[in-house]
Amino acid sequence: MRVETRRQARPLFRSARRQTISERVRRLIPNEAKKRLIEVVGAENYDDTKAGRLVYSYDATPQFQSLPDAVIAPRNTQEVAEIAKICNEYRIPIVPRGSGTNLCAGTCPVEGGVVLLFKHMNRILEIDEENLTATVQPGVVTLDLMKAVEEKGLFYPPDPSSMKISTIGGNINENSGGLRGLKYGVTRDYVLGLEVVLANGDVIRTGGKLAKDVAGYDLTRLFVGSEGTLGIITEATLKLIPMPETKQTMLALYQDLEAAARSVSKIIANKIIPATLEFLDQPTLEVVEDYARIGLPTDVKAVLLIEQDGPKEVVERDMKKMADICRSEQAVSVQLARSEEEAEALRTARRSALSALARLKPTTILEDATVPRSEIAKMVKAINEIAAKYQVKICTFGHAGDGNLHPTCPTDARDRDEMERVEKAFEEIFSKAIELGGTITGEHGVGAMKAPYLEWKLGPAGIAAMKAIKQALDPNNIMNPGKVFAKSTRKRVVVTR
Amino acid sequence: MTSKTEQALIQKAFQERMDEDELMNCMRCGFCLPSCPTYIESGRQEAQSPRGRIALMKAVVDGLIEPDEEVERALNLCLGCRACEPVCPSGVRYGHLLEEARDIIAQHKKMPLPVRLIRKLVFAGLFPHQERMRKATALLGWYQRSGLRTFVRKIGLLRLLPASFRQMERVLPDVPTAKEMKERPHRLGPDGTVKKRVAFFAGCLMDTMFMATNDATLRLLQLAGCEVIIPPSQGCCGALHGHGGEKAMAKELAKRNIAAFEQLDVDYIVTNAGGCGAFLLEYGHLLKNDPQWCERAAAFAAKIKDISEVLVELGFDQRPLRVAPQTVTYQDSCHLRNVMKTVSAPRRLLRAIEGIEFREMKDADRCCGSAGIYNLVEPEMSMQILDYKMEMAKQTNATTIVTANPGCLLQMKLGIERVGWTGKVRAVHIVDLLLEAVEGAQAAKEEERIRKTS
């Protein structure tokens, strides 16, 4: 019965109608359950006031908002397990939430229930210099961990743009990427072991401080990127690596977008893996410069931000080689950052791209269609054609080195006609990405936002396999329901070209 | 308690008056969270963050929630430091949203009689009238000098007051006499040739309780080569009113100041209080819907400049400045930094002083918890924020904490008192320290001359 009273997950782009959050007909948390939950965490860590719930009704995804029934902040794993047991018994959805910076509506409580906060579970438990690992609680802020390990000369590479405030728990659940993904991989590549509370309240440990471990299924990898739909991560052991000795940053400017894309492919084909290989197109450059004011050129069609790190000789050799490649591909200018401040300013500018785009219009739709890196030029070209076809503005930036692009559309949710065209344009972009051997999302996750498109990538059998796993671990569907799996799949746009 | 009818009125006013574009501009990226002192000090409560507060305001506008006690609590607990604005990639002007929301609530909520009386007395009866400010300050001076203070402290009468008031009483500066406050100059010529012609915004508290700092400011401007006009018809900037839900009164004060300054042919209007300067700078926004005043307000605002910026522009950091050897740290005034964007000028001046070892404290840009009258109305959070600030100050081993706003200055003194550093660490306004350094350099030069001739 309860399912019927819950609202449907929202489609990707809601029309311009004012958002309304209707109270569900029946409260999801009976008084008895509330009493028991308060017994577990204490009254000060249970909030079901209207304002208290409102502020956890959203994350960084536009157009998604839904009130939870309560917000709970457990203090330890034992309390999380108790909460899971109670919620499982009463079929109350659980939505684990870090800082709510994800872009797939992964932490929007679309079916109500309790939002789980990790503000008390935010300690770095250990930095093991012998095994090169860090063991942390899920609420640790990503940048805080990076700084803590850097003090010991160590390096935790995954660096999502929101790292100043995102949490490790959130990063693991979303399998966050970042600027360094090309050379160093993503969050997945740095998770060695997990402590997870399952839907039935069982606490399991996967992996450990081990470089090799083939005892059973690789559950660590299964939970990384599971978006809170399989269990609640309460502790993680992360891999660290030695800090690279030096780093250099350079900027290559192009008057031709495809020439920039060709440079990317050619750098990789020449067997150089740069630490960063970022791409920004002209519309993006303009807004980033307007925001960051660091002297980025705005009269060129595209920019590549290239970094290499490692031993000094290797870095210098690679940078020279890459500069030559860029020039041979008609880069109009190739400049090396003269100081760390200058390099940091360039990186910061790139990081703020999304947000700077948000200045153009009230609503910003950011996507992360991803293709094999050899297909970058084709994808960028297709995006421009699609934008022209639907008469929408799409700025593209992204991690060119790993084929992960962020076509971004500044728009206004109140303009219903434009929103419809934006929706069609993005559907066509997803479709094109898949056609080129790519995917609908490279690093943002599926959440509620991309769920209707997941089948395009996986096919019905792929969805069925994933659902079987979900069913086995969470038979009552209390773990972040309404995410990953959609109630219905979007009709695939047929690309005729 | 806000009654249901009041809530309905507030909600209606939210829908009519809140800037919907500004609310929509927040894309909830969360980049503001690490910059928000109340978010951090509340143990990362989203309702105590800029993103959370904007979501609450928008939800009231959208009719998703009522402006109930919790909403009001979240808005009240905001310091209004605006540290979220420089880090906001979308450029949301959070301060404007907060100001409007607080005004709506204050104007529609029936407050208890004592609160209403106090608000009326302070907002309408005292601050807009400079002669009353002087009288009140003179009364304070009499309390300080007559022996009453010693008596009151001795018999422990102050124990009847809340702790934050008690401590505040201890750190108030020794104020000038009524006679001194009356004889204020209206025009001062420069030392040497005129490099700039400026007007000085004296402020209400600054020209009474902190008169010595104003005098130091005027002296520095003269030394830097400024002809200084101090129009007597100016008054309180209205920041206290604007931030406290009394926008209508703030507008009247703004008009009075604009009228007082606009006829003057000056390069800048100089301020020495970040809180006032920032509010003056936004007169254009305050009066944007008033066709008779909006342009005049914008012209006025365009001339506002902090004293440190003016001094740096006139090369004050090149002249001999000297104090006894000491370690110095600088606490940013939030509004000077986040609204007026004055960040490097004060630091540059401090570094130019011989004898000073300047050490930046961690999170110098984080609010000290003074925030206008926040430390009086929200003492608990304010003191929590202050204690963190003192911890950061301690790590620098500074014996002098410099600020650029009277509220911050008092708060630093309060902090020093709280951690028992009185006598070991001092808090000063940057202009007072600069004047000390000018005099120090002159004394050193004099000494040198005497040593040479004897």
Question: What HEC string does chain B produce?
Answer: CCCHHHHHHHHHHHHHHCCHHHHHHCCCCCCCHHHCHHHHHCCCCHHHCHHHHHHHHHHHHHCCCCCCHHHHHHHHCCCCCCCHHHHCCCCCCHHHHHHHHHHHHHHHCCCCHHHHHHHHHHHHHHCCCHHHHHHHHHHHHHHHHCCHHHHHHHHCHHHHCCHHHHHHHHHCCCCCCHHHHHCCCCEECCCCCCCEEEEECCCCCCCCCCHHHHHHHHHHHHHCCEEEECCCCCCCCCHHHHHCCCHHHHHHHHHHHHHHHCCCCCCEEEECCHHHHHHHHCHHHHCCCCCCCHHHHHHHHCCEEEHHHHHHHCCHHHCCCEEEEEEEEECCCHHHHHCCCCCHHHHHHHHCCEEEEECCCCCCCCCCCCCCCHHHHCHHHHHHHHHHHHHHHHHCCCCEEEECCHHHHHHHHHHHHHCCCECCEEEEEHHHHHHHHHHHHHHHHHHHHHHHHC
Query: A-B interface: how many C-beta pairs under 8 angstroms?
Result: 100
Q: What pLDDT is recorded for position A19?
A: 39
- Does residue A379 form part of some domain? yes
At A298, which CATH number?
3.40.462.40
Which residues in chain A are closer than 8 Å to B65, comparing Cβ atoms? 50-51, 54
**Residue among B62, B64, B91 whose CB faces A359 most closely:** B91
Q: What pLDDT is recorded for position A130?
A: 96
Planar angle of CA B282, B287, B288, nearest 5 degrees: 95
What is the DSSP code (8-state) at residue A441?
A: B
Q: What pLDDT is recorded for position A493?
A: 53
β-pair partners for B228? B188, B198
Matching residue, tokens 């934006």: A422
- Residues with Cβ within 8 Å of B28's Cβ and at least 6 positions away in sequence, in order, are A58, A59, A60, A61, A62, A100, B51, B55
Give the closest-approach CA distance of B62 to chain A in angstroms.
7
Are residues A113 and A251 both part of a single domain? no
- For residue A419, CA distances in Å to A12, A17, B28 come to 11, 11, 19
Q: With a cut of 70, say whether residue A11 has pLDDT above it.
A: no
Q: Provide mean pLDDT across the span A197-208.
A: 97
Q: What pLDDT is recorded for position A196?
A: 98
Which residues in chain A are closer than 8 Å to B341, comparing Cβ atoms? none
Residue A286 at interface with chain B, using a CB cutoff of 8 Å: no
Give the closest-approach CA distance of B67 to chain A in angstroms.
9
Give the closest-approach CA distance of A101 to chain B in angstroms.
6
> How do residues A255-267 score in pLDDT, each as one tens digit?
988 899 889 989 9
| Amino acid letter, B69 | E
Nearest-by-CA chain B residue for A165: B34
Planar angle of CA A116, A469, A110, nearest 5 degrees: 35
Q: Are A51 and B91 an interchain contact pair (Cβ–Cβ within 8 Å)?
A: no
Q: Are B46 and A363 an interchain contact pair (Cβ–Cβ within 8 Å)?
A: no
**Residue among B25, B47, B91 whose CB faces A52 most closely:** B47
| Strand, helix or coil for residue A425 | helix
**Residue among B29, B70, B73 whose CB faces A50 most closely:** B70
Kindly report the pTM of this predicted structure: 0.92
Binned at pLDDT 50, 70 and 90, residue A285 comes out as: confident
| Amino acid letter, B418 | R
Contact (CB, 8 A) for A482 and A110: yes
**Residue among A58, A120, A363 whose CB faces B55 most closely:** A58
Q: What pLDDT is recorded for position A274?
A: 96
C-alpha torsion B83→A289→B27→B18, nearest 10 = 70
- Which residues of chain B from 69 to 108 reach within 8 Å of chain A, CB to CB? 70-71, 73-74, 88-91
Q: Nearest to residue A51, comparing CAs of B74, B140, B33, B334?
A: B74
Q: Are A52 and B70 an interchain contact pair (Cβ–Cβ within 8 Å)?
A: yes
Binned at pLDDT 50, 70 and 90, residue A496 comes out as: very low
Query: Residues A123-140, buried b or exposed e (16+ Cβ, 10 A)?
Result: ebeebeeebbbbbbbbbb
| Strand, helix or coil for residue A277 | strand
Residue A171 at interface with chain B, using a CB cutoff of 8 Å: no
Q: With a cut of 70, say whether residue A2 has pLDDT above it.
A: no
Q: What pLDDT is recorded for position B166?
A: 79
Final residue of a domain: which of A117, A145, A163? A117
User: What are the structural domains, with CATH classification, of chain B?
Assistant: 4-108 (1.10.1060.10), 113-171 (no CATH), 182-311 (1.20.1050.140), 317-442 (3.40.50)
> How do residues A418-431 score in pLDDT, each as one tens digit?
999 999 999 999 99
> How do residues A41-96 score in pLDDT, each as one tens digit?
999 999 999 999 999 999 999 889 999 999 999 999 999 999 999 999 999 999 99
- Does residue A126 form part of some domain? no
Phi-psi region for residue B412, left (φ > 0), alpha (ψ -120 to 50) or beta? alpha
- Which residues of chain A from 128 to 167 reach within 8 Å of chain B, CB to CB? 141, 162, 164-165
**Which of A19, A44, A45, A50 to substitute to test the interface with B, most B CBs within 10 Å?**
A50
**Residue among A55, A117, A362 whose CB faces B55 most closely:** A55
Which residues in chain A are closer than 8 Å to B47, comparing Cβ atoms? 51-52, 55
**Residue among B29, B44, B66 whose CB faces A60 most closely:** B29
Residue B4 at interface with chain A, using a CB cutoff of 8 Å: no
Give the closest-approach CA distance of B86 to chain A in angstroms.
10
Contact (CB, 8 A) for A335 and A315: no
Q: Are strands A94-97 and A114-117 parallel, antiparallel or unpaired?
A: parallel
Q: Nearest to residue A345, comparing CAs of A335, A359, A358?
A: A335
**Residue among A19, A61, A120 whose CB faces B62 most closely:** A19
Binned at pLDDT 50, 70 and 90, residue A23 comes out as: very low
End-to-end, the C-alpha distance of chain A in Å comes to 47
Main-chain dihedrals φ then ψ at residue B300, nearest 5 degrees: -65, -50
Q: Nearest to residue A118, comparing CAs of A29, A189, A197?
A: A197
Q: What pLDDT is recorded for position A10?
A: 41
| Amino acid letter, A304 | L
Contact (CB, 8 A) for B217 and B310: no
Rg (CA), chain A: 23
Final residue of a domain: which of A388, A416, A435? A435
- Which residues of chain A from 225 to 284 reach within 8 Å of chain B, CB to CB? none
Q: What pLDDT is recorded for position A430?
A: 94
**A320 burial class (0-12, 13-18, 19+ CB within 10 angstroms)?**
exposed
Matching residue, tokens 């002809």: B227
At A52, which CATH number?
3.30.43.10
| Strand, helix or coil for residue A407 | strand
Residue A45 at interface with chain B, using a CB cutoff of 8 Å: no
- Does residue A138 form part of some domain? no
Residue A20 at interface with chain B, using a CB cutoff of 8 Å: yes
Q: What pLDDT is recorded for position A254?
A: 93
Contact (CB, 8 A) for A246 and A314: no
Q: What pLDDT is recorded for position B168?
A: 79
Q: Are B70 and A51 an interchain contact pair (Cβ–Cβ within 8 Å)?
A: yes
Residue A62 at interface with chain B, using a CB cutoff of 8 Å: yes
- Cα–Cα dist A49/B399, whole Å: 46
- Which residues of chain B from 44 to 63 reach within 8 Å of chain A, CB to CB? 44-47, 49, 52, 55-56, 59, 62-63
% of residues, chain A, pLDDT over 70: 93
Q: With a cut of 80, say whether residue A292 has pLDDT above it.
A: no
Contact (CB, 8 A) for A274 and A322: yes
Residue A212 at interface with chain B, using a CB cutoff of 8 Å: no
Q: Are strands A46-47 and A231-239 parallel, antiparallel or unpaired?
A: unpaired
- Does residue A52 form part of some domain? yes
- Cα–Cα dist A48/B388, whole Å: 30
Q: What pLDDT is recorded for position B45?
A: 96
Q: Where are the alpha helices (H) located in A91-178, listed in sequence order?
A: 142-150, 168-174
- Cα–Cα dist A225/A237, whole Å: 15
- For residue A376, CA distances in Å to A221, A263, B320 come to 28, 10, 60
What domain range includes position A407?
246-435
Nearest-by-CA chain B residue for A413: B24
Which residues in chain A are closer than 8 Å to B62, comparing Cβ atoms? 18-20
Q: With a cut of 90, say whether residue A288 has pLDDT above it.
A: no
Number of domains composing chain A: 2
Are residues A255 and A404 both part of a single domain? yes
Q: With a cut of 50, say whether residue A391 has pLDDT above it.
A: yes
**A12 burial class (0-12, 13-18, 19+ CB within 10 angstroms)?**
buried
- Cα–Cα dist A289/B293, whole Å: 34
Q: With a cut of 70, say whether residue A15 has pLDDT above it.
A: no
- Does residue A287 form part of some domain? yes
Matching residue, tokens 């692009």: A405
Q: What pLDDT is recorded for position B37?
A: 97
- Residues with Cβ within 8 Å of A151's Cβ and at least 6 positions away in sequence, in order, are none
**Residue among A51, A352, A412 whose CB faces B47 most closely:** A51
A216-230, A401-415, A464-478: which range is least confident on average? A401-415
- Residue A47: its H or E element: strand A46-47
- Does residue A128 form part of some domain? no
Residue ranges of chain B with pLDDT lower than 70?
Answer: 1
Q: Are B47 and A55 an interchain contact pair (Cβ–Cβ within 8 Å)?
A: yes
Q: Provide mean pLDDT across the span A280-299.
A: 82
Binned at pLDDT 50, 70 and 90, residue A347 comes out as: confident
**Residue among A52, A100, A412 whose CB faces B30 most closely:** A100
What does chain A come to in residues? Answer: 497
Q: Provide mean pLDDT across the span A279-306.
A: 85
Contact (CB, 8 A) for A294 and A343: no
CB atoms within 10 A of CB A18: 10
What does chain B come to in residues? Answer: 454
- Which residues of chain A from 430 to 469 reach within 8 Å of chain B, CB to CB? none
Q: Are A356 and B46 an interchain contact pair (Cβ–Cβ within 8 Å)?
A: no
Residue B27 at interface with chain A, using a CB cutoff of 8 Å: yes
End-to-end, the C-alpha distance of chain B in Å comes to 77
Residue A63 at interface with chain B, using a CB cutoff of 8 Å: no
Q: What pLDDT is recorded for position A16?
A: 31
Are residues A292 and A429 both part of a single domain? yes
Complex confidence, ipTM: 0.90
Residue B24 at interface with chain A, using a CB cutoff of 8 Å: yes
What is the DSSP code (8-state) at residue A495?
A: P
Q: Nearest to residue A77, comparing CAs of A219, A224, A194?
A: A194
Q: What pLDDT is recorded for position A492?
A: 66
- Does residue A150 form part of some domain? no
How many helices and strands, by DSSP H and E, does chain A display? 16, 18
Q: What pLDDT is recorded for position A14?
A: 41
% of residues, chain A, pLDDT over 90: 73
**Residue among B30, B52, B88 whose CB faces A165 most closely:** B30
| Strand, helix or coil for residue A331 | strand
- Residues with Cβ within 8 Å of B167's Cβ and at least 6 positions away in sequence, in order, are B414, B417, B418
Matching residue, tokens 């104020």: B175
Q: What average pLDDT is seen over chain A?
A: 90
Final residue of a domain: which of A61, A96, A117? A117
Q: Are B34 and A141 an interchain contact pair (Cβ–Cβ within 8 Å)?
A: yes
- Does residue A198 form part of some domain? no
Are residues A113 and A252 both part of a single domain? no
